[in-house]
Structure 1
Amino acid sequence: MNDKSTKSFKKSRNRGSIERETKEADHDGDVMTLVSKNVISVPPTTSIIDTAHRMIEHEFRRIPITDPGSKKILGIVTTMDILSFLGGGDKYNIIKYKCNDNYLAAINEPIKEIMTRGVITMNHKASIKETVKAMVDNHVGAMPIVDKDDKLVGIVTERDFALALAGVLTKETVEDYMSSDIITITPGTSLDYTTKFMVRNSFRRLPIVSEDENAPDHTEDRIIGIVTSTDILRYFVDKKFFSQMDTNVASDLLEEIKISEVMSKGARTVEPTTKLGDFAELLKEKNIGGVPVISHDQVVGIITERDILKAINNS
């Protein structure tokens, strides 16, 4: 082999080495085994109502907002953000002040008006352990995954972790991780009050109870359903809601609507002694995100996908 050939071979071999090192350095972390890669996102100019319709259509509790050119993430919107906008929290000020209480005008505002900015993301090289910890520490239910150029390449949610990893939680029970400070409402509670209460307390679901007339002094409550932020959003985007609006002001109508019109009836329940793995199987089978915990016919807590995420973080 002459000197020229030798130099060419060495150059080729070195380039191959560099390519392999680059590829290895940019490999995916194991979190990518759980990531949804065909991410549906919307640009910041999409209207609030169109974004809400997209979320209900795909049964999303959150949707990333991305730059249509670079695909970099600009923000994220959750069902709770939209409930805050529709009357439950500070984002209602857009309707009240910017749009002079004109509900129909406000829902056509761009989604960038209510999106959460400064979104926490994880690199595609992250591990499952790192991602779970970041989600628990930051109290978020989903983590957008980006590449080396900060382009959105996927998203992973607490549900993804709960369904994939809860099988390893063979000893943990519901009572180890459930929230015991449970708040319930009755079917006669107004939609206006319910929405505000959920947003102010960061509750994505509330059990619905009625007093058991056969119990002494009406001390025992019987669960008859559950209402989630998605249930309320679905009701809001339903054309039936708009058909009831004979004025531009929505606040009066929200006060008139009872939660019995919105709630899901006959909620699934678990007991405190239920294994977390069995609870996760129930979530998967029924396509739900959380259930009330019942003991001796009383609601003693609530358990959700996020609680499973906390258990995984502790394991």
Structure 2
Amino acid sequence: MNENIMKIASKDVISIPPSKSIKDTAKVMMEHQFRRLPVTDPGSGKVLGIVTVMDILDFFGGGNKFNIIEKKYSDNFLAAINEPVREIMSRDVICLSEKSSIYDVVDVMLANQIGALPIVDGDENLVGIVTERDIALSLAGEIDDRTAQDYMSTKVFTTTPGTPIESACKIMVRNGLRRIPIVGGEADISKAAKKLLGIVTSTDLIRFFNAKEFFDNLNSNAASEVLEKTKVSDIMVKDAIIVEAEDTIGEICELFKISNIGGVPVVKDDVVIGIITERDILRAVKKL
């Protein structure tokens, strides 16, 4: 844990200028399977901000950034997506020195509830980025005896297949969620088993917004009509990857690595009893 952070940080960092459009930013994220991108000054290389998939979701209809579409562009989605990313990026970016230790990074991430930190040199130029995933996967072998039930969150936000995408976006943004299990059961909700039917992630939603079909379905320039009529069942992953309460942290991290995912439902008899994510594993790492 006292090792230098550059040992596990990604050094070939893809960053974007503040003038890049929101639409093109989302494309870069999907092409490289990134959940966040540093925004840097093209001349100096200094970090100006960071944009995440949650910022994009917020903009597409989940939160306050949707006001750009509704108010500034009178619900004209096609015009709004060409806004520069500076309009939705987070400007108060916490950066760490390239001399920081892994322990320093874990501390800052957990204290501020953030999933990635840009790494800068003495001149404040971007030289790397480290994520929860980098730390979780590099140290998971040291906590192999602990299980999902030791660190999973038992308070799980779920929704049903008929939920409009617009509502799913709002649930995710308002609660800081990157994924929502989709559940269902009997018609009588009081007796429903709430069995897991699938899962929708923030990445699934951004991919949907990037798809040609999304634009083909725009009968006008208003995105709200598509957001309201498209259901989560239309885009959810039906064969969701799951774990059981007794699975070890080491096994879960290996699953994360192989499947390139950052969180999974914890299931018993097809019913969701919890969820475990890279951040939960970070908490386990903190106790090493």
**TM-score range, shorter-chain basis?**
over 0.9
Letter in 2 for 1:134: V
1:212–1:222 contact (8 Å) kept in structure 2: no
Shift of 1:217: 6.5
Q: Unaligned 5+ residue runs, structure 2?
A: none
Q: 2:143 is matched with which residue?
A: 169
Could you list the per-position Cα deviations for residues 203-256 of structure 1 after superposition, in whole angstroms to 9, with x for gaps in the alignment? 11001112157x996431221211000000000011110111011111122110
2:115 counterpart of 1:150: no
Q: 2:77 is matched with which residue?
A: 103
Tell me the distance in 2 between the aligned counterparts of 1:218 and 1:108: 47
Q: Please list, as runs of the form range in 1=range in 2, the aligned pairs for 1:225-304 lying within 5 A after superposition.
A: 225-304=198-277
Tell me the distance in 1 between the aligned counterparts of 2:125 and 2:33: 24
Q: 1:82 and 1:216, CA in 2 relative to 1: closer, same or farther beyond 3 A? A: closer
2:167 counterpart of 1:193: yes
TM-score after normalising by structure 1: 0.88
Q: 2:87 is matched with which residue?
A: 113
3-state DSSP class of the match of 2:82? coil
Q: Unaligned 5+ residue runs, structure 1?
A: 1-28
3-state DSSP class of the match of 1:265? coil
Letter in 2 for 1:237: N
Q: Please list, as runs of the form range in 1=range in 2, the aligned pairs for 1:57-136 lying within 5 A after superposition.
A: 57-136=31-110
Structure 1 window deviating more from structure 2 (267-276 vs 140-149): it is 267-276
Shift of 1:150: 0.6
Shift of 1:285: 1.4
**Matching residue within 260, 263, 278 for 1:305:** 278
Q: 1:7 is matched with which residue?
A: none
1:99–1:105 contact (8 Å) kept in structure 2: yes
Shift of 1:260: 1.0
Tell me the distance in 2 between the aligned counterparts of 1:170 and 1:234: 34
Tell me the distance in 1 between the aligned counterparts of 2:87 and 2:259: 34
Shift of 1:265: 1.5
Tell me the distance in 2 between the aligned counterparts of 1:212 and 1:162: 38
Equivalent residue pairs, number: 286
Q: 2:4 is matched with which residue?
A: 30
Letter in 2 for 1:265: K
Following TM superposition, the consecutive aligned residue runs of length 4 or more in structure 1 with deviations greater than 6 angstroms are none
Structure ID, larger Rg: 1
Shift of 1:296: 3.1
2:1 counterpart of 1:46: no
Q: 1:84 and 1:216, CA in 2 relative to 1: closer, same or farther beyond 3 A? A: closer
Tell me the distance in 2 between the aligned counterparts of 1:79 and 1:63: 9
Q: 1:21 is matched with which residue?
A: none
Shift of 1:268: 1.1
Q: CA RMSD in A?
A: 1.4
Letter in 1 for 2:274: G
Tell me the distance in 2 between the aligned counterparts of 1:136 and 1:313: 9
Q: Identity of aligned pairs, percent? A: 53
